[in-house]
Amino acid sequence: MVSFLEERAKNIGGGGQNIMTDAKSVLNMSITVTVSAQKPPAPHGYISISTKRLLHNLEINAGARASVWVDSMRASSPTHIKSTPDDQGAWNLHHPSALEMFEQIIDASKGKQIIMFLDYDGTLSPIVEDPDRAFMSNKMRKTVRKLAKCFPTAIVSGRCRDKVYKFVKLAEQYYAGSHGMDIKGPEKRSKTDKVTEHVIFQPASEFLPMIDEVYKQLVETTKSTPGAKVENNKFCLSVHFRCVDEKKWSGLAQQVKSVLKEYPKLRLTQGRKVLEIRPTIKWDKGKALEFLLESLGFANCTDVFPVYIGDDRTDEDAFKILRDRGQGFGILVSKYPKDTNASYSLQEPDEVMDFLRRLVEWKQLSMGA
């Protein structure tokens, strides 16, 4: 494990500090078969803007024009996309409901260890106007607790790890905060009954002072945009525009860009109703997923079946990793057609809860049998 961590730290080009190795102690599982869940080919023409291309254009140093930014902000806020029933139908055909496909999913996972990766905002909790009030329901919490008893489970979020933990309040699973740049394993009690924290990986720790500095500047600069909210996620920053009038989006993007001009080591990307600022290290939710699989002992295993559920552009990195590995699959939470590497869809957090419950029921039944 140490050698993997050291190698990973070297590869990402950031400081590999604050690495502790507790990952080995996680789980031992048996291995048997190999199957791969293939993603059906993507449908054509259901969405007029290629979000991927837009995102590519959006890199802060590429000098993207404001109109491109606003187009992309709209593309990330799919309530603005007008899809026809035909588009919706074609999309549903290629990204069927994970609830409707439940039996097929279970069949594909036969003989393999299911590992669950769950995004938080928009997946376990509804998207609400105030990001500080994005609480998950008690019913959802109960479901996730049961899920974590049946399968290794990780919450992967763009938010600061402490904050997402305060929302989820479950000690028995992995947390990857700040888009996977802050990973911690389940809490364990030592013999003296003291809870010991198990930070596993913080690949961007050298950026902490810079992130704090930029946070302060962004708060100051975006003050004049009503509704804008800057959130410090420790290893990355979010500028939420859920409550900003669409006419002000372009101005807000300009304000953010003006601050970031001085910080070439930070890059700007987009999420759902949020601009994200993070270090330019090669690390994202997809890399976090690979790291977690490796630390769970499944690095080169063929009998592992990872399922990643998320609603955001940033989750696409994880969907793509699963697609490229030919292992498990991604489920996109969306009511609207979107360009995605996920194989299946669920419409909203309530459907996510139904899907997780069915997984738990299936596992309990199969254990009983």
Residue labelled with tokens 């899907």:
355
Among 119, 182, 284, 317, binds Mg ion (CB under 5 A): 119
In our burial notation (b when 16+ CB lie closer than 10 A, e otherwise), range 342-368 reads bbbbbeebebbbebbbbbbebbeeeee
Out of 182, 276, 284, 311, the residue judged to bind Mg ion by CB under 5 A: 311
The alpha carbon of residue 192 and the mean position of all alpha carbons in its chain are separated, in whole angstroms, by 35
Stretch that binds Mg ion, among 70-78, 79-87, 112-120, 278-286 (CB under 5 A): 112-120
Stretch that binds Mg ion, among 115-123, 165-173, 253-261, 347-355 (CB under 5 A): 115-123
Instruction: Decide if 19 contacts 202 (C-beta within 8 A).
Output: yes
Cβ count within 10 A of residue 158: 29
Residue 122 in the binding site for Mg ion (CB under 5 A): yes
Is residue 312 within the footprint of Mg ion (CB under 5 A)?
yes
Binding mask 40-59 for Mg ion (x = CB under 5 A): --------------------
Judged by CB under 5 A, the stretch of 61-69, 117-125, 165-173, 209-217 that binds Mg ion is: 117-125
- The tokens for 5 are 């961590």
Closest approach of Mg ion to the CB of residue 223, in Å: 26
Q: Report how many residues bind Mg ion under the rule CB under 5 A.
A: 5
* Separation between Cα atoms, residue 71 and residue 90, nearest integer Å: 23
- Residues linked to residue 285 through DSSP beta bridges, in sequence order: none
The yes or no reply on residue 121 touching Mg ion (CB under 5 A) is: yes
Interaction residues for Mg ion, span 316-345 (CB under 5 A): none
Selected range binding Mg ion among 118-126, 165-173, 279-287, 296-304, rule: CB under 5 A: 118-126
Element holding 184 (H helix, E strand): strand 182-184
Using CB under 5 A as the binding rule, whether residue 231 contacts Mg ion is answered as no
349 binds Mg ion, rule: CB under 5 A: no
The nearer residue to Mg ion, 276 or 290, going by C-beta atoms, is: 276
From CA 237, how far away is CA 268, in angstroms rounded? 9
Rounded Cα gap, residues 167 and 170, in angstroms:
9
The gap between the terminal CA atoms of the chain, to the nearest Å, is 36
- Tell me how far, at minimum, the Cβ of 170 lies from Mg ion, in Å: 18
Token pair 């993007």 is found at 253
Instruction: Identify which range of 47-55, 196-204, 303-311, 317-325 contacts Mg ion by CB under 5 A.
Output: 303-311
Q: Which residues of this chain interact with Mg ion, rule CB under 5 A? A: 119, 121-122, 311-312
